[in-house]
Amino acid sequence: MNSNPMYMEYVDDADEAVAPSARRRGWRVLGWVSVGLSVLMVAGSLTAYGVYRKALGNIAHEDANALLGPNRPKKLNSAMNILLLGSDTRAGANAKYGRSMVKDPPRSDTMILLHLSPGGGQALGISFPRDLMVPIPSCKLPNGHRTPAQSIGQINSSFTYGGASCVIKTIEGFTNIKVDHFIQIDFNGFKAITDAVGGVEVCLPKAVNDPQSKLRLGKGRHIVKGEMALAYVRNRKGLGDGSDTDRIKRQQKFMGALANKAMSAGVLSNPNRLLQLMNATTKSLTTDSELTPQVMMRIASGMQGMSSGKLRFVTVPWGAYALDKNRVALRQPDANRFFAAVRNDKTVPSDKPKQAITSKIPPGQVRVRVYNASGINGQAKRVADDLESQGFQVTVGGNAKPTATTRVLYGPGADQHALTVNALLPNPPQPAPRKSGTPGVVDLVVGSNWSALKNSQSGGIPTQAGEVKATDDICKE
């Protein structure tokens, strides 16, 4: 244990047995976020607000703006950023998960920033690992006191010290992204939503009988809900490599499957199931004071055209933390580039990307080969995925000699095709012929100055390594 009193170790309830005082320490349930997402999606389907007004009135509120103060990042776009938090409070009905811990301060190991692109056609859930080491600012508490600042600390400690508002201040501090609202939910809210949608499909690569998480399932596909769904998202040691980041990926898939189920199984269009969902979840929610039912409905109304295929989940770029192998740090410069793309996401998504003005050749007739000259692992694959989402015929050519400048080169007969590609790049040099180029093929050499494609269907935010879509097959690796 670190001698610094502001440094705290965290052990999941679903991890190996530990002393009672440690067992209550937060469990990571990314599935909680599905509840927050569903609240927004549910509100978007309401046609008779009065019927649901009582249910929405169950939501508790916190005056986040008063605690955060005026010195916050500027808003650079019309996107909406909602911080989704899981609380391990043992108050009320949650006491069954540790009655001896009821008086302890609640913790949160679930932190996801839900980014709704301008126009509401796409959503990106950005996960922050619980072990991420970042600066923790001084935070104002509801009683008027302030917490001491930390030059470096584990991100989930910000919730323990100062609640949701302190998490917002922490994330805004190192991302410079303005957080508009927050939604916080507890154990029972998570279970309720899995019940309301009729369960969620999961896939186990092997049989699991884990006494810590109480997950007992055989190998293969299963439909889980309630306590079993809770056990699945809590499980760490019984599945994967036992790491928190491996569990993040598994829980992102669960979250996507849940959202896909809610959006496709008639839950949001069935008044009885809808009311059941809202009555069950809103009692477990806390939001900022400005996220009123009316605002929820307005946000959700703008999301009505979003399909589950436009819902993505990513983890912030991370790497090893030099001072502690059990912690992680932001991987730079990737993280700052990613945060900049989120801040500057001004693209209104469209199912039909605009054609380049300078070329009459559509993306579907353009063959592109992507080379990685950025020095960043996996960059060519991410750029290729973005191009493919716009309709291009894409292959990955491999690595090239590192360069700062992104270039478009073309083989014989592909000069007009190169213009179509070039039109999607921010401030590119003019395409150039390639002596050894393949006839009819455009070569995109991605340099270290790469940011994002224009008119990208991913909302202007580049595809990230290992991202998950809500429509992905949960059994597919």
The pLDDT of residue 135: 96
For 352, phi then psi, to 5°, come to -125, 100
pLDDT in tens, 200-230: 888 888 898 888 778 888 999 999 988 888 8
List, in order of start, the domains of the chain with CATH numbers: 20-346 (3.40.630.190), 363-446 (3.30.70.2390)
The pLDDT of residue 274: 65
The pLDDT of residue 304: 59
How large is the average pLDDT for residues 401-405? 90
The pLDDT of residue 89: 42
The pTM of the whole model exceeds 0.95: no
3-state helix, strand, coil in the chain (%, to 5): 30, 20, 45
The pLDDT of residue 234: 74
Bigger pLDDT: 34 vs 161 = 161
- C-alpha distances (whole Å) from 316 to each of 29, 321, 335, 476 are 17, 14, 7, 22
pLDDT in tens, 236-254: 776 776 676 777 788 788 8
The pLDDT of residue 212: 77
pLDDT in tens, 104-137: 555 566 788 999 888 766 788 899 988 899 999 9
Degrees (nearest 5) of the Cα angle 68, 70, 71? 90
The token pair at 258 is 């849940």
**What pairs with residue 368 in β-bridges?**
394, 442
Q: Which of 280-284, 325-329, 356-360, 376-380 has the lowest mean pLDDT?
A: 356-360
The pLDDT of residue 191: 80
Helix H or strand E encompassing 103: none
pLDDT band at 356 (very low <50, low <70, confident <90, very high): very low
How large is the average pLDDT for residues 77-100? 63
Bigger pLDDT: 103 vs 344 = 344
Task: State yes or no: pLDDT of 54 exceeds 80.
Answer: no
Task: State yes or no: pLDDT of 349 exceeds 80.
Answer: no
The pLDDT of residue 322: 93
pLDDT band at 358 (very low <50, low <70, confident <90, very high): low
DSSP string, 53-65: HHHHTT-EEE-HH
What share of the chain in percent tops pLDDT 90?
26
Task: State yes or no: pLDDT of 362 exceeds 80.
Answer: yes
How large is the average pLDDT for residues 359-372? 89
The pLDDT of residue 280: 67
DSSP string, 65-94: HHHH-S--PPP-SS-EEEEEEE----SGGG
pLDDT in tens, 276-329: 667 767 777 788 999 887 787 677 666 655 666 678 889 999 999 999 988 999
* 381, 396 Cβ separation under 8 angstroms: yes
Bigger pLDDT: 378 vs 43 = 378
Q: What b/e readout covers 403-442, taking b as 16+ CB neighbours within 10 angstroms?
A: beebbbbbbeebebbbbbbbbbbeebeebeebeebbeebb
The pLDDT of residue 417: 93
Q: What is the distance between the alpha carbons of residues 210 and 217, in angstroms, rounded to a whole number?
A: 9
Q: What is the distance between the alpha carbons of residues 354 and 132, in angstroms, rounded to a whole number?
A: 39
The pLDDT of residue 51: 53
pLDDT band at 472 (very low <50, low <70, confident <90, very high): confident
Task: State yes or no: pLDDT of 40 exceeds 70.
Answer: no
User: What is the chain's mean pLDDT, rounded?
Assistant: 76
The pLDDT of residue 407: 93
